[in-house]
Chains A and B, each alone.
Chain A
């Protein structure tokens, strides 16, 4: 919180700390991010209800838009860049994604197996 004084100047930046950008550039960045986020949100709502595109492609399109939305948030609001100062943030993001993938993927796999192997009693009855 207050201990950035120990870090030699120009060495490393705390998460979310910006270097040498003026207020104007920063505000511009946020405005662009907000515009993109709004655009993507509006597109999602539009696609969900439209009959202009091939219907089965709608879920795929929504997933793509959702991922793009996450990207916009990461770049414009959470300041994930490819800059050398950002290695920690990128690694943290990668670790987070890996854990989410392992836990969610593993859970889906395990629960599907449990459901297949041990259905509730009424389902067993119906199968007979």
Chain B
């Protein structure tokens, strides 16, 4: 009846996951009770859960990423403490638990923090920057988000029901095969990634189509803001690379469920094929994450330097070059696994070449700042911090791209330090810069600068104190994923890293405080102009938060930095006082398709993990039926009457007029 599921699945003998799970459950129940008692449920359902508005979906993506960042961060704290104490002792985490923690940490941070964060930012901003009213496929967008959330849910369920994979974040066989991992851990891993992978692919298709097909009048490719270009490149990579991940995990699942031998040691299986395929996805994935961050930095650096982006066309070229070359370097993840010198040499050279366009970008940002009137607001701090940190990470990356050096450093703490250096210094700093930069656009009030700056400095310093010692430990020969060790020379560095982790934690607390304080003082921090940073691209041309239709009139773009030119134009001639002719606007109706579909997908995923076949069929039929109902609906749009559009837009114009006249008075 319930497949493999019984009471032994719940780890009553392990206090840590049980207590953590209980606390999370209490928190969720508390929030739910509060929502229901206060009567917010109808609002939440109709305005957020069923919303197909790209801005709302973007915000929900970022919320999911932030919550999962806390989960992944807790795992990181536990690992750092374990390695600080586990010198010639077992520490406080038994090996099977420690292995689950580092696997969950990697999986969560990449798939459920970094991915939703950048997809959320792209969703929120790209249609606004392109000057259009929505993404290409609004309901599909909602489906993509909810499927990603389903994956995150399954990973977290594994905390208290069953176990998570103990195989590392990429579940290499033969360890991840049934003979070595008979439990449900790898199944939790694989099914949650399969489900969220569908969501990511959907988001990728949606955003590619949006950039290619929905641009406002005059928005040529070479007038698009840099963030739109990096979005295009990143989502092209999603569309090209995620099917590889899906296929690879499907083969692993066939091995585990139906006795196939794709990656087993027996019967002609080939373990190396898994490494090859997973990294053919895995390396583009790195650029899927970091390219949108590069886009954020381009926007932020240009805005806060008060200058157009230096070398816009070289930036576009560099982005697209990275997009293609990222598919030519994947072997550098397994230099040591027996390919010959010519294979290693070619892939090593390709890996060094891909640093060139990235270097071009760094110089472009520096030249954008050069001679500019720089304002060091919080987003700019994150960007400058990124440049310093990412260069170090990039250089250590070029170092490990040299095969002989990689033979020394493979799977060492040096590598761990390297990829945290680029992912934290690149992706996470970029995500935070984007968060600080676009928060006023999404919610209509700024974030508190003092707490924001404190968060930056603690995170920045904490990063260096945590990860520079790991470079040294790697040089001293420490390998990654060690539950305990006996080498005295490593110990001091592990203690320093744990101290750094404490500093990083203070940074996270500052960020939470920033959010709480800012929400409390939102009236004082209110931005009525829609353009708090003196921005340059079209998202600042509408009010904050933007109306559901984004723009009453689709903007007419006449050059790069569209909004900057509009503002210059308006200052010269002041606003025309002609009466505008508003028209009705059709917008897509909200739809529970995404949520219902994800609900059934969650049931199906859980049932597949525990081999509860009747429930698998139930979930499958439910998800399919949801799609059929959606496909056969009659009314997919509603009309916002012209008077309503006019009313909303006139308020915005009034605010802007007073802004311009005030600026004139000063």
Contact = CB atoms under 8 A, between A and B. Distances in A.
A110 B588 contact: no
Contacts of B137: 1
Nearest to B346: A109
Contacts of A1: 136-140, 588, 636
B340 A117 contact: yes
A111 B270 contact: yes
B93 to A, nearest CB: 35
A110 B327 contact: no
Interface string A104-116: 0011011101101
Contacts of B588: 1-3
A116 B240 contact: no
Contacts of A48: none
Contacts of B280: 103, 106-107
Contact of B273 (A7, A99, A111): A111
A11 to B, nearest CB: 9
Given A99-B240, A103-B280, A118-B338, A8 B217 contact: yes
B339 A3 contact: no
Interface in B223-270: 236, 240, 244, 270
A95 interface: yes
A113 B276 contact: no
A108 B273 CA distance: 10
Nearest to B551: A6
A64 interface: no
B205 to A, nearest CB: 10
Interface string B303-346: 00000000000000000000010011011000001111001000
A86 to B, nearest CB: 12
**Residue of B209, B212, B273, B330 with highest tally of chain A CB at under 10 A:** B212
Q: How large is the interface on A (under 10, 10 to 19, 20 to 34, 35 or more residues)?
A: 20 to 34
A110 B277 CA distance: 11
Interface in B2-45: none
A15 B339 CA distance: 42
B324 A111 contact: no
Contacts of B214: 3, 6-7
Given A3-B214, A110-B331, A114-B272, A95 B240 contact: yes
A70 B82 CA distance: 56
A-side binding surface: helix, strand, loop or mixed? helix
B240 A6 contact: no
B139 A5 contact: no
Contacts of B270: 111
A117 B339 contact: yes
B555 to A, nearest CB: 12
Contacts of B240: 95-96, 99
Interface string A87-128: 010000001101100110011011101101110000000000
B47 interface: no
A14 B213 contact: yes
B134 interface: yes
B574 interface: no
A14 B236 CA distance: 17
A82 B244 CA distance: 29
Interface of A: 1-3, 5-8, 12, 14-15, 88, 95-96, 98-99, 102-103, 106-107, 109-111, 113-114, 116-118
16 contacts: A1-B636, A3-B134, A3-B138, A3-B588, A7-B214, A14-B209, A15-B213, A88-B212, A88-B213, A96-B240, A103-B244, A103-B280, A107-B280, A109-B343, A110-B343, A113-B338
Given A103-B280, A107-B276, 18 more contacts: A1-B138, A1-B636, A3-B132, A7-B213, A7-B214, A8-B217, A14-B209, A95-B240, A98-B324, A98-B327, A99-B240, A102-B327, A106-B328, A106-B331, A110-B276, A113-B339, A114-B272, A118-B338
The 7 closest A-B pairs by CB, nearest first: A118-B338, A113-B339, A99-B240, A117-B338, A102-B327, A113-B340, A113-B343
